[in-house]
């Protein structure tokens, strides 16, 4: 049911937070024929000039998150930089207005498989490697999310073979329908502690990437995996130790270190273009993810 407040306002959707993601959301929803408004606590948020140039008559409320506008909306799309704990957002939720982010909108519409990547460190590197591996294998792969192109902008072309999304904890907070073909949390270390009450709270948000029934890729060297492991789910591990079974790791052969799947050598550590132990781990994670869509790892 449409929500009309005492001011007579009504919007099909209100976006909270402008910037790159907010502009992408406004464009996407407007192109769906919806009556959309945007509100931001900043007087001059990023992308404001771009929004005005593209949508001259856009309804924009600046200087504070406008509660009247939120309460006059059928749904609220939250930009990643705005917390669910914001008092205006809490009020909207109390009034039964759905609140979600751009990744949730994307997941509802995407027709191709999704590989999803998160982690405190290395997620851009892994996202880029997976994209290159799948493209070299002939897949039409689109990359976006927290890196490069906002996710909704990827939907302008309806015929990709694969999406590779980098997802931050902020984006995962407001995503409910993600069912990735394969997903990974690379690592969890103290980050954004101004937003989360504890490291456990932060890790639990990261774990949302494993919702759905796709392949779980887990870093065996990380403590967080003990609270994630699910014997009913397809799971593959990567580690800087020796791999067991079909998992990914390192083996020594003739005094040289090889990245391997099980006993099968894939690439010599010294042949990697990216250097450092952390990037060995990133490469192993990328191989596991690419293998999930049948891309050769060698």
State the DSSP string of 181-230: SEEEE----S--TTTSSSHHHHHHHHGGGG-SSSEEEEETTSGGGGGT--
Closest CA to 185 of 164, 198, 203: 203
262/248 Cα distance (integer angstroms): 6
Q: Residues with Cβ < 8 Å from 53, sequence gap 6 or more?
A: none
The tokens for 244 are: 């067991």
Q: Is the dihedral of CA 221, 224, 229, 234 positive or negative?
A: negative
46/25 Cα distance (integer angstroms): 14
192 is catalytic: yes
Task: Indicate which residue of 123, 181, 206, 207 is catalytic.
Answer: 123
31 is catalytic: no
Report how far apart, in Å, the C-alpha atoms of 215 and of each of 113, 210, 233 are.
Answer: 12, 8, 7
Q: Are 188 and 168 in contact (CB under 8 A)?
A: no
264-268 and 256-261 beta bridge pairing: antiparallel
Angle of CA points 222, 225, 227, to nearest 5°: 135
265 is catalytic: no
Task: Indicate which residue of 87, 90, 140, 192 is catalytic.
Answer: 192
Q: Are 144 and 152 in contact (CB under 8 A)?
A: no
Task: Indicate which residue of 66, 146, 219, 247 is catalytic.
Answer: 146
Q: Which residues make beta-bridge pairs with 141? A: 162
Residues designated catalytic = 123, 146, 192
């Amino acid at each position: 049911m449409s929500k009309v407040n005492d001011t007579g306002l009504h919007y099909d959707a209100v976006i909270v937070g402008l910037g790159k993601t907010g502009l992408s959301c406004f464009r996407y929803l407007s192109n769906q024929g919806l009556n959309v408004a945007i509100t931001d606590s900043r007087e001059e948020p990023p992308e404001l000039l771009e929004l005005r140039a593209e949508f001259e008559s856009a309804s924009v409320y600046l200087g504070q998150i406008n509660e009247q506008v939120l309460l006059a909306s059928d749904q609220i799309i939250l930009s990643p930089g705005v917390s669910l704990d914001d008092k205006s957002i809490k009020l909207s939720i109390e009034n039964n207005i759905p609140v979600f982010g751009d990744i949730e909108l994307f997941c509802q519409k995407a027709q191709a498989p999704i590989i999803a990547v998160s982690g405190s460190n290395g997620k851009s590197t892994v996202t880029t490697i997976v994209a290159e591996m799948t493209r070299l294998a002939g897949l039409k792969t689109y990359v976006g999310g927290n890196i490069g192109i906002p996710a909704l902008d990827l939907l302008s072309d309806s015929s990709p073979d694969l999406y590779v999304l980098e997802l931050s904890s902020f984006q995962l907070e407001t995503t409910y329908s993600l069912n990735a073909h394969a997903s990974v949390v690379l690592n969890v270390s103290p980050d954004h502690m101004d937003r989360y009450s504890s490291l456990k709270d932060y890790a639990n948000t990261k774990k949302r990437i494993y919702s759905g029934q796709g392949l779980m890729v887990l870093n065996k060297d990380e403590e967080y995996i003990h609270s994630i492991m699910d014997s009913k789910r397809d799971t593959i591990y990567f580690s800087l130790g020796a791999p067991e079974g079909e998992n990914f790791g390192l083996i020594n052969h003739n005094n040289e270190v090889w990245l391997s799947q099980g006993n099968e050598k894939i690439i010599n550590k010294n042949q990697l273009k990216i250097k450092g132990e952390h990037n060995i781990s990133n490469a192993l994670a990328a191989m596991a993810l690419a293998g999930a869509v049948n891309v050769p790892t060698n």
